Chains A and B, each alone.
Chain A
Amino acid sequence: MPIFQHDSIFIMVSLQYKISQQINNYINLIFMRKLLCTFLLAILCASYANAQVTVTGVVKDDTGDLLPGASIVVKGIKGGTITDINGKFTLKVVAPATAILRVSYIGMKNFEFPLKGKTTGIQIQLESSANQLDEVVAVGYGTMKKKDLTGAVSSISEKELKDIPVNSITQALEGRLAGVNVTTTEGSPDAEIMIRIRGGGSITQDNSPLYIVDGFAVKSISDIAPTDIASIDVLKDAASTAIYGAQGANGVIVVTTKTAKEGKTTVSFNSYVGFKKTTKNIKVLSPYEYVYYQYELDQGAGFQNYYGRFQDLDIYKSDPGTNWQNEVFGNTGVQQNYNLSLMGGVKDTKYNLSLTQSDDKYTMLNSGFKRSNVNFKVQTKLNNSFDFVFSTRLAYSTTDGPSVSATDITDQSSISNQTKLRNVVKYTPTHGIKPFDQSIQDENDRTSVEGNNDLLNPVTSIQNEYRKQHKFNNLYNAVINWNILKGLRFSSNMNYSFINNNTDNVYSNGTGVSRLNGNQPVYLHFTEAGNTWGISNTLTYDLKLGKEQRINAMLGQEVTNYQTNTSATLAKFYPVTMTTPEVLAAPNIGTYQSITGYIGEPTRISSYFGRINYSLKDKYLLTLTAREDGSSVFAPNNHQWGFYPGAAAAWRISEEPFIVSQKDWLSNLKLRLSYGEVGNNRVGSYWRQDYSFADLTKIKTYYPNEATANALIPSDKLRNADLTWETTITQNVGLDFGLLDNRLSGTVELYWNKTRDLIVDVKLPSYSGYDSQYQNIGQTSNKGIELSLNAYIIQNKDFTLSANFNIAFNKNNIDKFTDGVNDYKLYGSGWNGSAEPKYDYLVKQGGPVGEMYGYVTDGYYSFNDFNWNATSKTWTLKKGVASDKDLIGPGNTFGPGALKLKDISGPNGVPDTIINDFDRTVIGHAQPLHTGGFGLNSTYKGFDVAVFFNWSYGNDIYNANKLDNTADLLSRTYQNLSSEMSLANRFTTIDPVTGYNVYSGTHGDPARLQELNQNATIWSPLMTTTVFHSWAVEDGSFIRLSNVTLGYTLPSKVSKRFHIQSFRVYASGYNLYCLTKYSGPDPEVSTRRDNPLTPGVDFSAYPKASSFVAGINVTF
């Protein structure tokens, strides 16, 4: 079918011309062009004779930069040339009239240029390959072309990363990849960025994915400068991750850093500066309303002592008070980032060096973050069969400022929930007529009003708590590749890294810790030193059997070792007057309490693995993988090793003859199927009963003769030699499609992951003498659908517009769960320390993780629910009305206006008019129905614009702040409330005219009370226990305009005059707008993360900020 072949060539040629065309004219034009070209060519072919001529020209890339190293051949003729450092080429051509130059360059579309007799001044501009199928994707221990993939892999390329000036790469991933859920849990400098791939299988273990950087597993990717990254690939199904065996259960994120290109030496400089502001605070009562509320709590002398007589309270209306949230989080954070990189090389040796310096001041007082990165990579060809790559990454960072969401690290105080963040909301906005004396604390009664405040001045407690963390991370990586025979390659990869971190803490006068130590400064110094090393060896063989079969086989072996040693020094009893710098300068002035050291036990994994890729006719693809992992954390018996097989098949339907005819619109269609198993061993070594010396900075021991005696104590976890791997089984069906020459491409994935033998830290009965034991129990599953779409809508020379969209649905289910005789267990998020609500999450067989468990709000008790006893002047509940008195602790204000909860059930399964444990039910779900993101990128001449949105839909948030800030919690007076409890809203007991408490007792007056509260919309805050009820569960759905970037690139003609290859300026805004019904500061929140079973709690989160940056990218 020669005609057919011709046709297809001309279609391809014609496509080169299409760039200026609108897409709606596209199909029609193809036919016109085809005819025209055929005609022209026929004429040209006839008019030229054979003669060798020198042809010269330049090759440029899509941005107009000269492109060195591009390969140029004359079609159909052997030999060719490559462009020099200035992108110029010279080539002998026999028949310039008919010759067609074929220009190729990695990452660019191949380009065919018919000379048509032209011999000089040829300008060829290559187009970057919008066709993502040619992209190379990192898979375990190797790379693959995207079109050959059989597993589920999402990728983000350098090009996409380039436009997003972010401080950490995890931030760049937010919302961009289907099935990859990135949550910035708080707004703090040290906030954990939680990445979950397809929901995470384990219910109690760490669900973080495995991070692989340039071939080796690392603990975190947050210390890699974003500008150093070439690509990020996320492996989602077990067929892709099984090759990583151990630890691949939660997906794998493969990061590849930039590699220099031969010949083209470039120096680039990137920089941005920006600022950020806290977006939203919790509204609190004004000083007047605060004082009024205090009067409502206490009409006695205690109140008068501090705030004066009721009749005079109006003076507080003019008291501006102190907005503690503004004081603490009102800073404008300033970010600065500078990156300088150098790339280049000669034929056999390439190198790149990148230096990054970033400096981030946060919105909180005295908090900031600084980091310096050095990234160096060199690759060299030793001879024909050996090449060698060496790279190193150094990162040094310092973080300033105390941890605000955690309690003091030496936590020896009794109040575990006394966080600084809570202070800023609750701390008294006005001090009234007499300053507080906080010196007396009484846990049990109200005899001392000062003690009932139980809070610390938020500003001084932050100012006086010095904390500086230094982190130094070094990583060295060496790879030797040995091309033994054609197709047979041996690769040995060696990796060594060490960390050296230390933290200085000084708690000076005014902090909670110092208060417990005679107001004298306390000094605490931590060090952490660790190293990781690994060696992997792989043998890869590529084999072509005939024209149609390709086999790629890989066999490998790997060992890794990880160890961390820590030490802590605690010194106390510095003179009260010593300032922080003085303590740091002379720590020996204090009395050393303890020096503890801990040599970590190495965690080791030894593995053997293999993979076979088989391809038949480029249409039928099969991948088989297997891996055997041994882990040192399990007992050395048959529990130590796990075997993880995987299989995947793909069918490139678009290559089938019956589809090829549809190629003009269906450019790619691939169906993928996979099955695989992976293991999880992320748990410490608990198979022996260990004894270790008590860390005297945290644990009290025995003090004979007032000296601290060392204690050797057994671990609080009972050993379990039978503990073994947690296994995740993944089944995945995927469909990749590309339409209209891949202008619209996308992927649909369906998956079903099951995790069995969950490693669960099972609580043991207190009388066992242990806290818990790790056991393999239960099974969870995640099922879901993911869709991602990319569209290159308009691709003109001057104007481009592209869009991307992704959405993921995930359904989590606990398939099997037992707790003794029950198939459920209640867990506590613990936001309120040991106080109520103690158990607020349910884990139940058949349900999802993250079920919020509590009471159902039923407004407040009405006047019809109670009888007024005119003699005793008290309220009594009517018969048949359910009572929650014992639950909410309203004291003497149990009557109309008290919070009312629904009576759902009782011990016999029917409502029993007593609100107690039986009346709890599932009142919220932390798991979203779907999450996703979409964005638009556009360029017009030198301008570029990118807009990105991300969303989450259908998840509930447990707004614990609301509970905490609307009750007279634990009878603590002199604490402020949030504005939900404003006088206009709440049920009040005080007659504003007389100042009498008309609720009950001497001045009790039911008629007046009813009159006062006819418009009350919320119950009285006078309850001492914060039970968890449905009012605090809110819809957490949101859609966020997470990023807008506007850039301008100077035309290269202009920049060249300044010897600059390219020059771009841009401005970017992050977290610009969030559309949500959630009443709290930010719907993207999860503050109780110690236990993965209690997601979605919003309690005292570091407020999030919006940020704006402006920056430049310069390449010389």
Chain B
Amino acid sequence: MKKIKYIIILIAGFSVVACNDFLNTSTPSKMVGPVVYSQVFYAQNEVIGIYSLVANDNMYAKSVSLLWSTNTDIEFAGADTTTITQNTNRGSSNYYGTSGNPVLPWNNIYKMIERASLCIEGVNNSPLMSQKDSTTMKILRGEALTMRAMGYYELVKHWGDVPYKEEASLPDLSNVYIGKTNRDTIYNHIIKDLLIAEKSVPWVGQLSYTSEKITKGFIKGLIARICLSAGGYSLRDKPGYPMERVDNWKDYYVLANQKCKEIIDNGTHKLNPSYLSVWKNINSLTLEQSYNENMFEVALGLGQNGEMGYSTGVRFYPTDKYGQGNNANTVNTSAYYFYSFDRNDLRRDVTVAKETYGKTGTPKEDFMANPLSYNIGKWDQRWMNSSWLSLNRAAKGKFGYGINWVVMRYSDILLMYAETENELHNGPTDAAKSALKQVRERAFAATDYAVKVETYVNTLGDHDSFFDAITNERAWEFGGEAIRKWDLVRWNILEKKIQEQRDKFAAMLNGEAVTIFGNTYPALPTTIYWKYAANNENIDWANVNYYEQNSDLDLLSSTALKALGYTKVVWMAGLKPETKNVYNRTLILFSSGLQKARNKFCDNRYLYPIYSTAISESNGALTNSYGF
């Protein structure tokens, strides 16, 4: 019986071992919230996790920056009668969104918001908050608050009223199956969050924060941008789906004005004297740190992510010199935008690419004869750096470009400041004019300053003319930067401007006199002549007669033209009637989903339907509005 006693003791022994924490397991590879937020290093990495979703395809690597940023009067994703209603980027860009369009899910934006909320709660409850590390922790919280606000801002811009909550999801799901919150409420919440965030986050250059991180200047700028949207028009979810703005819209303008002024007064951010350099730097993956014009760049990685340069930018075909080609059809532009610029505006040739490259397989530019098939020139393979080049030359398929997405530039601050001054004082103040001049000075050569900057701005005497000037200036300054659409929406002139583009393009094709954005053309040439420059790679752009008929060359025979190296292209009024018809029909088709006549529900239907899966997973808490 002694033996039995041993056995019982043995089993009992095992049982005690087994009970004591045996089932409480963990792994250092997985951390729980309290661990993450009790060490600065971990908390910093958690915040990178939020940034990684800001850099996600759903946000600035693709959707927000490209797929959802068209169509306007100066940017569009083209389509034909078949593709315009398809569940692709072409359908949704032309405002024929359907809830089954795979371009439209918002999942990763909400995932980013959730990560930010976890971080905000984690920092608030962190033991470090009462220690010396609290400054760092508060900066991290500020970054998280800002990214959450950015997430909600993008959601509200694209869907109007959306589900909103300030806290992280609870495991009992009590705050998960929620319905929509009014956008005005959301705006107020995120502005309040940003006002907290800006207090703790450093300026660019401080504490080794670069513009690839969220910094004080950007937060202030974001407040201004959100305020202008909050105080601007939007499509309302009420009977008839009107475009309306809040009654106290001026309050938002006051705050926007104040934040812009704080940035300007601080002086950390300045304009890069060269508009071209801004883009060359971005394309060569160089972070510009002396002017810090780019207030926040989403840091994308070479070979990793980012559609800039691939889906938007000058179109390249495969050549030995630059390697793999790209497909630049996601964001297009047209000769209308080209002609909207002052012919001396240095921004024109940076922004509008009238060429493709290497179409014949030889490394040279090709002249684009189709006035509706221009690209945005701000992204250009030729500016990319050598490590990218060597990879792209070896590539046989799409290779990640890694060009950072610039969320906000300092010129935006200047123009928002000018705009709010004008609105708040019912006419341009000196400060407003000075801000506008700064932007224009950079856009012109010094020899043009007197006329194009001083005279131009000084003659803008009243509110309306200054407002129009702002409308135009923002078009010239920000083409292809996912800004125009939201400007036109908040000003409630999206449909109007798109129609203006259709009408004026038709007039150009008819050979009539047109004025685009204040630039008047009595008659555009009917034929254009172009030739290669001496290097036989670039087109001699300076001598292409975009603006006037070249009567000398008109007289020459085709053999003589050839001998001089010229190629003759029919242009605008010179085009065949059937071609003109095609162009006109195309432009009428583009963006036509905005119109009530087409969508059967309301005008200005720029908002997207909520993706069908999100509706079905909401257990009835969400429904689509605006007739979707």
Contacts and interface: CB of A to CB of B under 8 A. Distances in A.
B42 interface: yes
Nearest to B77: A444
Contact of B391 (A448, A518, A764): A518
A820 B111 CA distance: 22
Contacts of B111: 716, 769-770
A631 B18 CA distance: 11
Interface string B601-628: 0000000000101100111111000000
Given A490-B7, A685-B25, A765-B614, A439 B19 contact: no
Contact of A764 (B22, B176, B396, B400): B176
Contacts of B302: 703, 706
A606 B18 contact: yes
A690 B28 CA distance: 11
B553 to A, nearest CB: 31
Interface string A436-455: 01111111110110000000
Contacts of B287: 705
A942 interface: no
A706 B402 contact: yes
Contacts of A773: 171, 173
B617 A700 contact: no
B15 A601 contact: no
A764 B329 CA distance: 35
B556 interface: no
Contact of B613 (A708, A711, A766): A766
Contacts of A485: 3
Given A444-B90, A518-B394, A721-B171, A700 B303 contact: no
A992 interface: no
Given A485-B3, A703-B300, A703-B402, A711 B31 contact: no
A811 interface: no
Contact of A712 (B49, B82, B619): B49
B535 interface: no
Contacts of B23: 604, 606, 630-632, 636, 640
B285 A440 contact: no
A441 B326 CA distance: 8
A704 B212 contact: yes
A529 to B, nearest CB: 13
Contacts of A1065: none
Interface in A409-449: 437-445, 447-448
A49 interface: no
Q: Which of B110, B171, B393, B622 has the most CB of A within 10 A?
A: B171
Contacts of A766: 105-107, 110, 611, 613-614, 617
Most buried by A among B28, B105, B304: B304
Interface string A751-773: 00000000000011111111001
Interface size bracket, A side: 35 or more
B619 A704 contact: no
A700 B304 contact: yes
Interface stretch (A116-124, A282-290, A691-699): A691-699
A572 B49 CA distance: 23
B26 to A, nearest CB: 6
B162 interface: yes
A12 interface: no
A447 B79 CA distance: 12
Interface string B433-458: 00000000000000000000000000
B110 A599 contact: no
B168 interface: yes
B83 A713 contact: no
A692 B299 contact: no
B495 to A, nearest CB: 25
Interface string A43-60: 000000000000000000
B423 interface: no
A834 B390 CA distance: 33
B177 A820 contact: yes
B135 interface: no
B49 A703 contact: no
Interface in A850-907: 889, 891-892
B266 interface: no
B31 A488 contact: no
Contacts of A770: 111, 114, 169
B107 A708 contact: no
Given A442-B329, A821-B619, A703 B55 contact: yes
B315 to A, nearest CB: 10
A709 B51 contact: yes
Nearest to B8: A539
A927 interface: no
B263 to A, nearest CB: 22
Given A441-B397, A769-B113, 8 more contacts: A537-B11, A539-B11, A573-B391, A604-B25, A636-B24, A700-B301, A763-B617, A766-B106
7 nearest A-B residue pairs (beta carbon): A769-B114, A820-B619, A703-B301, A515-B397, A712-B45, A518-B391, A601-B27
28 contacts: A439-B396, A440-B318, A442-B329, A482-B3, A484-B4, A516-B398, A519-B394, A557-B14, A576-B394, A600-B27, A601-B26, A632-B24, A636-B24, A689-B32, A691-B42, A692-B29, A700-B305, A701-B48, A711-B46, A713-B49, A714-B49, A714-B114, A764-B617, A766-B107, A766-B611, A767-B178, A768-B114, A769-B117
